[in-house]
């Protein structure tokens, strides 16, 4: 089955600067993220960074929703140094939760004939969850790598993974 | 994006279907859903109609052998078009002024004309009821939020297969304003809303 790696919101604001959620738990998994990207390269699975790039006045920067983060063109919106995209990688900019909403992610995956997507990144309860459900609805078979995703709290991460019954939950060792 | 409840609203009620509520497909709903939540949903819909707030039913309507039935271990056949199981339960029967949108995936926006319908109705705020809080409701609410609608969850008019799943669905909706049926009635009344 032809697969692609979706690396979700691994930008500097999300991972280094705790915006909009504390990312300490995800930072502790950076080595796993690097391994996942290596695995994808070795297996010729396209690597797609699906990452926030917001206009400064994006409507989602409402006080009750989230603080401004990953403004398009800013340092904070860049992919973290450890995972710096190579020329062969694809970067999809999103403004909402799902990597599929308002982006060409579906088009890109279709063009490549992708049938299965491996999801890594953060946070499990936000962009990972909503990208995974859209992947499922579009009939890509989503696999979430448990050792390569996280949320600000263990309980939130675990509870979310427990509800994603339409995904396969695996980890690097199992797929590698 | 803040939910101004007096802006132009619609009530969106998710999956109030015979297979799901009467026949336990694809999973049984606990008795408190039918005993307590369904009557409240019925009241919510009646109040909405009195207040001239559009009511939109979002309903599973599957093809035979829909892959959703076999894609994952928890899957099971349900709400196949033409079997009767896809019909709305009598307790919340749609009225001629209501709208019905059929779907084949979790989200009411996925592969449907829900967004087009809401645009035609001139609606900017969606008030949610139905089931299950942590699946079809959650993913429809999230898609509404992503599309720029203000979203309101009527907590006591939603439910899941367990209280815990219901609560985790509500918790996941950090982008929604949460109210109760009483609050809805107070804020909208049964009278005219502009």
Q: Does the pLDDT value for residue B192 go beyond 50?
A: no
User: Which residues pair with residue B14 across a beta bridge?
Assistant: B58, B130
Residues in chain A within 8 Å Cβ distance of B168: 159, 163
Chain B interface, mutation test: which of A59, A102, A133, most B Cβ atoms within 10 Å? A133
Q: Delineate the domains of chain B, giving CATH numbers in brackets.
A: 9-188 (3.40.50.850)
**Touching B: A residues 91-130, CB under 8 Å:** 96-98, 101-102, 125, 129-130
**What is the C-alpha separation between B54 and B76, in angstroms, rounded?**
32
Residue B187 has pLDDT above 70, yes or no: yes
Q: What is the pLDDT of residue A175?
A: 87
- Residues from chain B that touch A127, judged by Cβ atoms under 8 A, are none
Cα separation, B104 vs B62, in Å, equals: 5
Domains assigned to chain A = 3-175 (3.40.50.850)
Q: Is the C-alpha dihedral spanning A115, A118, A121, A125 positive or negative?
A: positive
Classify burial at A109, counting beta carbons within 10 Å of its beta carbon; exposed 0-12, middle 13-18, buried 19 or more. buried
Across B66-181, the runs of DSSP E, i.e. the strands, are: 99-103, 125-130, 150-158, 177-179
Span A38-60, mean pLDDT? 97
Q: What is the pLDDT of residue B3?
A: 47
Q: Which of A102, A137, A166 sits opposite B110 (nearest CB)?
A: A137
Give percent of chain B above pLDDT 70: 94
What token pair was written down for A49? Answer: 């960074």
A chain contacts of residue B172, beta-carbon cutoff 8 Å: 125, 129, 160
- Please choose, from the candidates B23, B156, B135, the residue with its C-alpha nearest in 3D space to the C-alpha of residue B72: B135
Strands B125-130 and A90-94: unpaired
DSSP for residue B135: I
Q: Where are the beta strands (DSSP E) in A40-138?
A: 47-52, 90-94, 116-122
Rounded CA-CA distance A141/A166 in Å is 9
pLDDT-based confidence at B7, cuts 50/70/90? Answer: confident
Instruction: Please check the confidence at residue B1 and state whether its pLDDT lies above 80.
Output: no
| Site of tokens 């909403």 | A101
- Across the interface, whether the CB atoms of B142 and A98 are under 8 A apart is answered yes
pLDDT in tens, A90-135: 999 999 999 999 999 999 999 999 999 999 999 999 999 999 999 9
Please give the mean pLDDT across all residues of chain B. 94
């Amino acid at each position: 089955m032809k697969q692609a790696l979706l690396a979700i919101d691994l930008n500097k604001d999300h991972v280094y600067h705790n915006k909009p959620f504390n990312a300490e738990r995800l930072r502790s998994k950076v080595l796993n993220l690097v391994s996942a990207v290596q695995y994808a390269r070795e297996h010729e699975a396209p690597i797609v960074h699906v990452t926030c790039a917001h206009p400064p006045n994006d409507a989602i920067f409402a006080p009750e929703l989230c603080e401004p983060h990953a403004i398009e063109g800013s340092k904070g919106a860049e992919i973290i140094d450890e995972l710096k995209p190579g020329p062969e990688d694809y970067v999809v900019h999103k403004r909402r939760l799902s990597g599929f909403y308002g982006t060409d992610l579906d088009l890109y995956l279709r063009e490549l004939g992708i049938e299965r997507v491996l999801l890594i990144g953060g946070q499990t309860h936000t962009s990972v969850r909503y990208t995974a459900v859209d992947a499922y609805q579009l009939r890509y078979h989503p696999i979430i790598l448990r050792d390569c995703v996280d949320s600000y709290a263990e309980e939130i991460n675990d509870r979310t993974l427990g509800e994603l019954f339409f995904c396969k939950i695996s980890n690097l060792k199992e797929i590698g | 994006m803040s939910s101004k409840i007096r802006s132009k609203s619609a009530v969106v009620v998710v999956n109030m279907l015979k297979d799901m509520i009467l026949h336990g497909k694809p999973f049984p709903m606990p008795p408190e859903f039918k005993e307590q939540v369904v009557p409240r949903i019925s009241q919510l819909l009646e109040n909405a109609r009195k207040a001239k707030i559009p009511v939109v039913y979002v309903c599973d309507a599957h093809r035979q052998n829909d892959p959703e039935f076999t894609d994952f271990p928890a899957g099971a056949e349900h709400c196949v078009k033409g079997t009767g199981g896809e019909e709305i339960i009598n307790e919340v029967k749609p009225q001629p002024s209501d709208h019905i949108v059929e779907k084949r995936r979790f989200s009411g926006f996925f592969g449907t004309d829900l967004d087009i319908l809401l645009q035609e109705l001139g609606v900017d705020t969606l008030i949610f009821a139905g089931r299950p809080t942590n699946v079809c409701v959650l993913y429809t609410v999230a898609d509404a939020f992503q599309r720029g609608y203000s979203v309101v969850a009527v907590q006591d008019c939603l439910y899941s297969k367990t209280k815990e799943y219901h609560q985790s669905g509500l918790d996941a909706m950090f982008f929604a304003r949460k109210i109760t049926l009483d609050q809805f009635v107070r804020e909208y009344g049964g009278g005219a809303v502009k």
